[in-house]
Homo-oligomer: A and B are copies of this chain.
Amino acid sequence: MGREAGEAGRRAGLKDVARLAGVSVKTVSNVVNGYVHVAPATRARVQRAVAELNYRPNPSARSLCGGRSGIIALAVPDLRIPYFAELAGLVVAAAEERSLTVLIDQTGGERERELRVASGLRTHLIDGLIFSPLALGPEDLAARSDDTPMVLLGERVRPGSADHVAVDNVAAAREATAHRIGLGRHRVAAIGARHDAAGETARLRLLGHRQALTEAGLPVHADLVAPVDEYLRADGARAMARLLDSPEPPDAVFCGNDLLALGALRTLYERGVEVPGRVAVAGFDDIDDGRYGTPSLTTVAPDKRRIAGEAVGLLATRLDGAATGPAREIQVGHRLVPRESTLGRAAR
């Protein structure tokens, strides 16, 4: 008898292990936490007792002692948005490598909820926060009063106010548009202008797009920049329809993200417009859906795995003592992934 959990109905505690091993709880604690100064024989004895009792540390008690909970929060707009889902999956995996557990908060990109997240919604519970804000601006973030370590995903906040990991949105978008210009397109539209506060990333991507036009000596037509409410497929579909209905439709479109681009492809399909024959389409994010699209979607691929890894890594260093110290900024690479939506079937 006696495998798995304590038969007694009660789970074994540090004290039980100590008794069985014939040492003090302090020593057990030392062994469990991997401290160095424990005699090998003692360590072995303790480990045997731990195994026998199937002892597992109680994270609540540990965290209560001012120790850490081992939990970090990831706050994103919505897991139903593939980019954030993929990112979340990678963050959970990266966290696991460091024995951290991830709890998810969905903000819906709403200012109120993001404010709550930033001001310590999970204080006491989490050791740190990885936050991808949409509605909050640099000022909001810099004014944060909670002192839980935080790593920001996305645009640069006021320099020095928080650790953050980002891609060079301007450069990446510029490459995407330049790619189409290089293929001979001269009326390159953009889908994704936003008028709300959520527009920082959008703004930078559209800026890169315009830079590419300017660098190529092409005019920037205001009517070739389509605004959207959100960055979802439906918005892209609607925006594409409007562009097609304009007097001089574009021969290429840069979309602020892949979801918009997939929506745009859908409209083009419905209207029987050849892609890339008459309109070349590119997105941003490199979500899985784009890879198997028909046609497959040309996009800019940020290194999501590295974004997740760096975010968790930055947080981990904060948890391991360096709680204070200058804010760090990590710029993660990206690469243009040309596929059929700009190259045609030859792309395969």
Residue A37 interfacial (CB < 8 Å): no
Bound-complex Cα distance A291 to B260 (A): 14
**CB of A331, distance to nearest CB on chain B (Å):** 24
Is A60 located at the chain interface by the 8 A CB criterion? Answer: yes
Q: How far is the CB of A290 from chain B (nearest CB, A)?
A: 10
- Tell me the interface secondary structure of chain A in the complex: mixed
A85 lies within 8 A of B80 (CB): yes
| Contact between chains at A124 and B80 (CB < 8 Å) | no
What 9 A-B pairs have minimum CB-CB distances, sorted nearest first? A85-B85, A79-B89, A4-B145, A269-B294, A60-B63, A60-B60, A58-B124, A80-B89, A103-B103
Question: Is the Cβ of A4 less than 8 Å from the Cβ of B119?
Answer: yes
Residues of A in contact (CB 8 Å), total 58
Set B5, B61, B86, B288: member contacting A64, Cβ < 8 A: B61
Give the chain B neighbours of A105 by CB distance below 8 A: 92
Number of copies: 2
A265 within 8 A of B: yes
A288→B233 contact, CB < 8 A: yes
Residues of B within 8 A of A293 (CB): 266, 294
Q: In the complex, are the beta carbons of B93 and A86 less than 8 A apart? A: no
Q: Is the CB of B125 within 8 A of A60?
A: yes
CB proximity to B under 8 Å, residues A324-348? 348
Nearest B-chain residue to A63, judged by Cβ: B60
- Within 8 Å by CB of A104, from B80, B102, B263, B292, lies B102
Q: Is A237 an interface residue (CB 8 A)?
A: yes
Q: Please, which residue of chain B has its CB at the minimum distance from the CB of A69?
A: B60
A11 at the interface (CB under 8 A from B): yes
New contact pairs (4) apart from A4-B119, A57-B124, CB-CB < 8 Å: A4-B145, A80-B89, A88-B104, A101-B125
- Is A106 interfacial (CB 8 A cutoff)? yes
Given contacts A58-B64, A102-B104, contact A79 B85 (CB under 8 A): yes
CB atoms of B103 and A71 under 8 A apart: yes
A260 to B11, CA, bound (A): 44
Is B89 a contact of A125 with CB atoms below 8 Å? Answer: no
5 A-B pairs (CB sep. < 8 Å):
A79-B89, A80-B86, A88-B88, A92-B104, A233-B288
C-alpha spacing A296/B234, complex, angstroms:
13
A59 at the A/B interface (Cβ < 8 Å)?
A: yes
User: Are A11 and B102 touching (Cβ within 8 A)?
Assistant: no
* Closest chain B residue, CB of each to CB of A113: B96
Residues of B within 8 A of A112 (CB): none
Q: A56-B124, A60-B69, A80-B288 are in contact. Are A266 and B237 (CB under 8 A)?
A: no
In the assembled complex, the Cα of A51 lies from the Cα of B93 at a distance in Å of 38
Residues of B within 8 A of A3 (CB): 145
| Complex partner residue of A348 from B122, B123, B263, B270, CB under 8 angstroms | B270
**B residues in contact with A79, CB < 8 Å:** 79, 85-86, 88-89, 92
